[in-house]
Amino acid sequence: MSNKMWGGRFGSEPDAIMEEINASIGVDRALYAQDIAASKAHAEMLAQQGILSGEDAGKIAQGLDTIRAEIESGKFSFQRALEDIHTHVEARLQELIGPAAGRLHAGRSRNDQVATDFKLWVREAIGRLDAALGDYQRALAAKALDHAGMPMPGLTHMQTAQPVTFGHYLLAYVEMAGRDRGRFADARTRLNECPLGSAALAGTSLPIDRDMTARALGFDRPTANSIDAVADRDFVLEALAAAAIAAVHLSRLAEEIVIFTSPLVGLLALSDKFTTGSSIMPQKRNPDAAELVRAKAGRIIGALAALLAIMKGLPLAYQKDMQEDKEATIEALNALELSIAAMTGMVRDMEPDKARMKKAAAAGYSTATDLADWLVRKGLPFREAHHVAGRIVAAAESAGVPLHRFALASMQAIEPRIEEEALSLLTVERSVGSRTSFGGTAPGNVRREARKWLKKLEKERA
């Protein structure tokens, strides 16, 4: 006995290994809801076009609803011999309603079916990711508003650079997540054309109405070229590219959480909710969630690299290679969703250590640029001011005092134009408070930006 779906010209069963390598049901059963929705839209269109009788269309719709319920209640039996979700649904429909089921596949093929189903799945995943990123932004912006004026060390090269505020630092991640959402939105816009009815690759001679199915499934329009429609996986690549960049952003914050919560640094603390203990060292509190978010970025990047490699050099149109597009994609987009949720939880949970933050912000002569800027305002060229401030730092360092405690007379011995006023500017509070340029770290800026984000995010939720 040969395959029921395509076995007309076959005399015998496939080899067990053939069946194993060919079957995708273990993965694409995740698309059952999309497959059934697309079949219902297709059947309704076939009936409207007179390709299918109203009676058969009704039976098909009912049968498809039954199958959906069977799958959702765990009663549906999946078997490798039926290859993929498309054949499973059609074979079960045959059992349920008889020969009318065989009329459903008119004017379509599994090639346009799988492209349609997967587009629907990716589109829904993008919707979930966008909502999750919105929650993440809200958590960051709320925390930023709470700590708009709290100084923290701003680092470049992991060296103390200039004081910034903790709120400003958190808002940097809000901006990144905003661009991530923009990339997902772009991907969704380009994705939203319906492949259904492109059939195997050439279209069909049957009088189908592709606008109708596109509309029914929430697409903006049908795809314009049947070859492209079945050969295209750009929508997956774009979603994965956006996901990979978002995951890279999350991994950077994750890494900072790992560093900042280390007892060696101690700038930040997480509670019991997002840490774990050690099985042997009772004192430990490990930032496992942050570490796992950091690691998941590797798998998400891997999924993008894998699909690029699968698609590279594939001739048009559909090739079975493309069946390998789903496993890593589904896993990666689900992993990203979980990572965002974990990161949102950690952001809500994290508490900065105010005293250590301030101490670290002031350490390392972090306000030396403020001294140089003061000299610039007094008319020195910046290069010269930089040199003078550098000599003063060196002198203060050998005297073992921070800049704002260094004696005025000792500064004046290096640069006579320095006045009392300059000294008062060298505390971390004065330093961050002075950075009022657009996009700068001044607490007033941070409050304004945090409120702007919160308002915007509130509005999109309404």
Report strand pairing: 268-269 vs 351-352: antiparallel
Positions in 410-439 near ligand ARG (CB under 6 A): none
Q: What is the DSSP string of 74-127?
A: T-PPP-GGG-SHHHHHHHHHHHHHGGGGGGTTTT--HHHHHHHHHHHHHHHHHH
For ligand ARG, give the closer residue by CB, 196 or 347: 196
User: How many residues bind ligand ARG, per CB under 6 A?
Assistant: 10
Residue type, 335: A
> What gap in Å lies between CA 37 and CA 67, rounded to an integer?
11
Q: How many CB atoms lie within 10 A of CB 395?
A: 16
Residue 140 CA from chain centroid, whole number: 16
User: Using the rule CB under 6 A, is 196 a contact of ligand ARG?
Assistant: no
Part of the chain binding ligand ARG (CB under 6 A), chosen from 108-116, 189-197, 235-243, 409-417: 108-116
Closer to ligand ARG by CB, 28 or 90: give it. 28
Stretch that binds ligand ARG, among 100-108, 159-167, 314-322, 428-436 (CB under 6 A): 314-322
Among 40, 68, 110, 296, binds ligand ARG (CB under 6 A): 110
Query: How far is it, in rounded angstroms, from Cα 68 to Cα 35?
Result: 10
Q: x-or-dash pattern for ligand ARG, window 21-60, by CB under 6 A?
A: ---x---x--------------------------------
- Region of 106-114, 233-241, 254-262, 402-410 interacting with ligand ARG (CB under 6 A): 106-114
Q: Which of 111, 329, 344, 445 binds ligand ARG (CB under 6 A)?
A: 111
Q: How far apart are CA 39 and CA 112, in angstroms?
A: 12
Shortest distance, CB of residue 356 to ligand ARG, whole angstroms?
54
CB of 359 to ligand ARG, least distance (A): 58
Closest CB to ligand ARG among residues 114, 122 = 114
Q: How far apart are CA 357 and CA 428, in angstroms?
A: 11
Q: Which residue has the tokens 């089921």?
A: 101
Binding mask 316-335 for ligand ARG (x = CB under 6 A): --x-x-xx------------
CB closer to ligand ARG out of 155 and 200: 200
Specify the residue, 27 or 361, whose C-beta has the smaller distance to ligand ARG: 27
Answer for the pair 301, 308: CB distance below 8 angstroms, yes or no. no
Query: Shortest approach of ligand ARG to residue 127 CB, angstroms?
Result: 22
Rule CB under 6 A: is residue 114 a binding residue for ligand ARG?
Answer: yes
Cβ-based nearer residue to ligand ARG, 114 or 270: 114
Q: Quick one: which of 96, 28, 19 has its CA closest to 59?
A: 96
What is the DSSP secondary-structure string of 113-180? HHHHHHHHHHHHHHHHHHHHHHHHHHHHHHHHHHTTT-EEEEEETTEEEEEEEHHHHHHHHHHHHHHH
User: For residues 14 and 364, which CB has a smaller minimum distance to ligand ARG in the complex?
Assistant: 14
Residues 66 to 95: which contact ligand ARG by CB under 6 A?
A: 84
Q: Is 41:49 a contact under the CB 8 Å cutoff?
A: no
CA-closest candidate to residue 148, choices 171, 129, 125, 180: 171
Q: For residues 3 and 369, which CB has a smaller minimum distance to ligand ARG in the complex?
A: 3
Residue among 320, 328, 327, 326 at smallest CA distance from 111: 320
Least distance (Å) from ligand ARG to the CB of residue 145? 47
Shortest separation between residue 323's beta carbon and ligand ARG, angstroms:
4
Nearest to 248 by CA among 179, 301, 308, 307: 301
Q: How far is the CB of 84 from ligand ARG (least distance, A)?
A: 4
- Give the ranges where 192-263 is alpha helix by DSSP (H): 210-216, 226-231, 234-261
Min dist. Cβ of residue 303 to ligand ARG (A): 16
Closer to ligand ARG by Cβ: residue 312 or 320: 320
Is there a contact between 217 and 37 (Cβ–Cβ < 8 Å)?
yes
C-beta separation of 117 from 35 below 8 A: yes
The residues annotated as belonging to the active site are 157, 278
CB 206 within 8 A of CB 196: no
Q: What residue type is assigned to position 164 of the chain?
A: V
Q: Where are the alpha helices (DSSP H) in 262-353?
A: 288-311, 326-349
CB of 311 to ligand ARG, least distance (A): 13
Least Å distance, CB 210 to ligand ARG, is 19
- Give the binding site for ligand ARG (CB under 6 A): 24, 28, 84, 110-111, 114, 318, 320, 322-323
